[in-house]
Amino acid sequence: MRKNLISAAILVCLLSFASFAQRAKTDVLKVGEAGPDFSLVDDGGKTVTLSSVKGPVAIVFYRAYWCPFCLRQLAELRSLKQDGFTIVAISPDPINRLKETKSKVAKDGKGEIPFALLSDPGSKTVNAYGVYDPTYAGQDVDGIPHPSIFILDKDRKVVWVSVSMDYKKRPTVDEIREALKLAK
């Protein structure tokens, strides 16, 4: 009996470690690599699949509805005209929190977010792009990404990447606007 308990405890530890190792992927997708496809639900309950988006796309990973730096960035991104490209913003937030995020941003009186906010429960897409932030492993907010932007061309190849290891520092809208020219 004792031997079975010890074996079970070892198995649980190994599975936990394997799960953590999978979550803690740190290989950020690089310029020239293909953006992994995803199917995520937006703030309206609609499924958005990367492979169905036409033309170039800017994928913005943000931490969560509670991050004031993320809310500011999402608000600033409203100024980008989406002529010829699409913006999607991804977080591990559940759908109701995505709606809360949109509402918080719109309270500044400058309009709503004109692009989809997508829910990534379990952070599978966060992991696929290599932006999982291990700082919060095992905490309530485990699964949040480093704030990141990937710009993909029409063939879904990465043409520009920005990963902010310091969540307070993000690329400017002008830098993003210039990077979007690389995707056309």
Give CA–CA dist 71/173, Å, rounded: 14
Q: How confident is the model at residue 3 (pLDDT cuts 50, 70, 90)?
A: low
Q: How confident is the model at residue 28 (pLDDT cuts 50, 70, 90)?
A: very high
Handedness of CA 173, 99, 66, 167 (dihedral sign): negative
Phi, psi of 23 (to 5 degrees): -70, -30
Tens of pLDDT, residues 65-81:
999 999 999 999 999 87
In the chain, pLDDT over 70 holds for what percent of residues? Answer: 86
Q: Which are the contacts of 77, defined by CB distance < 8 A and separation ≥ 6?
A: 60, 87, 89, 113, 115, 173, 176
Whether 54 contacts 94, CB under 8 Å = no
Model pLDDT, residue 26: 59
Mean pLDDT of all residues in 103-130: 95
Per the DSSP assignment, residues forming a β-bridge with 162 are 149
Stronger pLDDT, 27 or 6, i.e. the higher one: 27
Mean pLDDT of all residues in 31-52: 96
Model pLDDT, residue 19: 40
Largest CA distance in the chain: 67
Given a cut of 80, whether residue 17 has pLDDT beyond it is: no
Structural domains present in the chain: 2-183 (3.40.30.10)
Distances in Å between the alpha carbon of 161 and those of 57, 60, 112, 166, 170? 12, 10, 26, 15, 12
Residue 36: which of 21, 25, 20, 44 has the closest Cα?
25
Give CA–CA dist 47/173, Å, rounded: 27
3-class DSSP state of 42 = strand
Give CA–CA dist 136/145, Å, rounded: 10
Tens of pLDDT, residues 161-179:
999 999 999 999 999 999 9
